Amino acid sequence: MILPGTQLEKLCVEACDEVVLVAPFVKAFVLKELLARISTDITVRCVTRWQPEEILRGVSDLEVWSLIKKRPRSSLWLRSDLHAKFYRADEKCLIGSANLTAKALGWLNSPNLELLVPLPASESILKAFETELFRGCVQVNESLFEQMSETVQILAEQYPSLSPLISDTPDNFQGEISPSVEQTLVEAWLPTLRNPADLYVAYSGKLEQLTTAARETALSDLRSLPTLPNLSKIAFESCIGTLLLQKPIVQKVDALVETSQRFGAVRDLLASLPCANLPDFDPSRAWQTLMRWLLFFLPQRYALSVPNHSEIFYRVNPRT
């Protein structure tokens, strides 16, 4: 039987123009080995997911960012609901079960039993998948990496037992909570809970303290922002802030407010994005809610001033 790692190495070596590597779990050693087999004049796009508790457990490595950013023509992308394993080099694809880990690719003495099936990239279903994939992705930059690193450190202090005890990814890892159930397409998601402070109340199980509307919207938002159970308030808020920055619409707002923006400018941006197709969408209300969340969960990143009764929202230190 041909090992998945052998298949993937061959795919990378034979690439001429572009390589797309998509897996929820990506280990730095594995990515380094694959990148070494790809000519530096070939474009590489790597898509993964960064959940703070998964990083802490060692199922994925934040260090993949350092590999990507120093390589020309390369970019790293995140999608929070990613579960697919999809590898494409030009017009050839491999799809199946194997993550980018040594255990999955057969590079350890006791590998997983995995499968990668070769298919032509011209298949319409694969083209549609790749289009949908990147529609809901956000691109990693140094600021997002630093935010995630800080959150993982906060979690490590509260959950020292979660630190990785093994050298590779446990590909059968099951989180301590159910995986995210996205009620809204990831590219259209916005928070709905009006008072972000109530999110921790709902997370803590104190639903009786909330109104019916707050309870329903809080539970809906929590399903789209999965975290470990029993986090302290500080750790929880740090996790939520990090997860917010991985949402495509938040990233678009983040880019806009690198320069100070009036309320109407951000409202108009939201009205032009996929969220505008949500039921009962009101751009003013949506921006009011999102603004509260950004100020509450990312207070070091965003600020609001109100000169002459006009709300001005902006990024703090936008170059970071």
Q: Do the domain assignments include residue 112?
A: yes
Are 133 and 213 in a shared domain? no
**pLDDT attached to residue 25:** 98
Angle in degrees, CA 48, 300, 255, rounded to 5: 55
Are 118 and 205 in a shared domain? no
| Beta partners for residue 20, in sequence order | 45, 88
Are 149 and 126 in a shared domain? no
Are 134 and 157 in a shared domain? no
CA distances from 180 to 77, 83, 223, 243 (A): 19, 11, 5, 12
Q: Where are the alpha helices (DSSP H) in the chain?
A: 4-13, 28-35, 52-57, 64-69, 102-105, 124-135, 142-158, 198-203, 212-224, 233-244, 248-256, 263-271, 283-297
Are 210 and 90 in a shared domain? no
Q: Do the domain assignments include residue 179?
A: no
**pLDDT attached to residue 40:** 94
Are 116 and 255 in a shared domain? no
Are 63 and 208 in a shared domain? no
Q: Do the domain assignments include residue 132?
A: yes
Strand duo 116-120 + 302-305: pairing: unpaired
For residue 48, which of 23, 68, 28 has the smallest C-alpha distance? 23
| Beta partners for residue 87, in sequence order | 21, 94
Are 19 and 131 in a shared domain? yes
Are 154 and 248 in a shared domain? yes
End-to-end CA distance of the chain: 48
Q: Do the domain assignments include residue 272?
A: yes
Distance CA(146)–CA(245), nearest Å, equals 12
CA atoms within 13 A on the CB side of 18: 9
Q: What residue ranges of the chain have pLDDT lower than 50? A: 165-183
**pLDDT attached to residue 158:** 84
Rg, C-alpha atoms of the chain: 20
Are 135 and 190 in a shared domain? no
Are 106 and 159 in a shared domain? no
Q: How many domains does the chain have?
A: 2
**pLDDT attached to residue 308:** 80
**Interval 121-132: pLDDT, tens:** 999 999 999 999
Are 95 and 151 in a shared domain? no
| CA 300 centroid distance within chain | 20
Q: Do the domain assignments include residue 177?
A: no
CATH of the domain at 38: 3.30.870.10
Instruction: Kindly state the greatest CA–CA separation across the chain.
Output: 71
**Interval 188-215: pLDDT, tens:** 999 999 999 999 999 999 999 999 999 9
Instruction: Provide the residue range defining the domain that includes 34.
Output: 4-140
Q: Which residue has the tokens 């380094």?
A: 32
